[in-house]
Amino acid sequence: MAPYNKLRGGTIVNLVGELKRLGFKFEFQKYPEMRNKWKVVFECPAGSKANFSTVIGSNDEMLKISDALRMGGKTFLFNLSVAVGRFGENAMLAAVRAGRINHTFRVGGQSFNLRNMTLSAPLQLQNTSGNGLDLVAKITAPRPPAPRWVAFEVKSKMGPDVPFPSLSEAQQRSDYVQRAAEGAFAGIEQAQRAIRRNQTRGRSWEDLIPQKAEVEEFRDAAQDSEVIKIHAKVELDRMGQPVGEIELVAW
């Protein structure tokens, strides 16, 4: 068994994407008697001379995986918890883009269902460390009186035998979305100042600078309590794919 077990969630998500693209068979398996430890087991496509090195790019972590596998066979050990969250967010992102959001809310005595509405391209309101809101999107048509924005907090689990993670104490606060929106906008402005000063620190929100106007609009809506808040629960199979319908409840 290879010892390498410090993989970032993004690395595992990218690894799975490459394995699927190249036709590998694989699944995640729980490692006995080790909390939150998993291994991935895979095999080459039938008739193919491909091996794991086929999926290795320039990512340093991927190169370490390759070295570990050469030493320990075709499995390696890692903490999957962060990657499970990323898989769930990707599943929710795909559902929003495909218009598969079946959630009813009431405004001014009227009922609306997001399934019958068009949402803008969803935005992951997160910095490079993954802090922030999982997904936000604007309702573009037909537009209810208010609110006109939706925020999703996604909780994911792998397999039916484990519970969904709970919302954190901070996430249960009524002003959590507003604070997160304000923090994101302030982070973008800080990143712009750091760029102007040619500083490397303070740029964790740099990737969202092109969406600054959207983030500002969302922040204003959050401050006016005009955001629909949805708690999404995504169950995944042992290949990181969603199982059944995504459960959506008021957040």
Lowest mean pLDDT among 42-51, 92-101, 203-212: 42-51
The arithmetic mean of pLDDT across residues 226-237, rounded, is: 92
pTM for the whole structure:
0.76
Lowest mean pLDDT among 25-29, 130-134, 154-158, 205-209: 25-29
> What pLDDT, on the 0 to 100 scale, is given for residue 4?
43
* Cα gap 85→78, rounded to integer Å: 15
The better pLDDT of the pair 154, 20 is held by 154
Q: How confident is the model at residue 172 (pLDDT cuts 50, 70, 90)?
A: very high
221: left (phi over 0), alpha (psi -120 to 50) or beta: alpha
CB atoms within 10 A of CB 216: 15
Q: Which residues contact 146 (CB under 8 A, 6 or more apart)?
A: 107, 224, 226
Q: How many helices (H) and strands (E) does the chain have?
A: 5, 11
Average pLDDT, the chain: 80
Q: Is 226 exposed, middle or buried (0-12, 13-18, 19+ CB in 10 A)?
A: middle
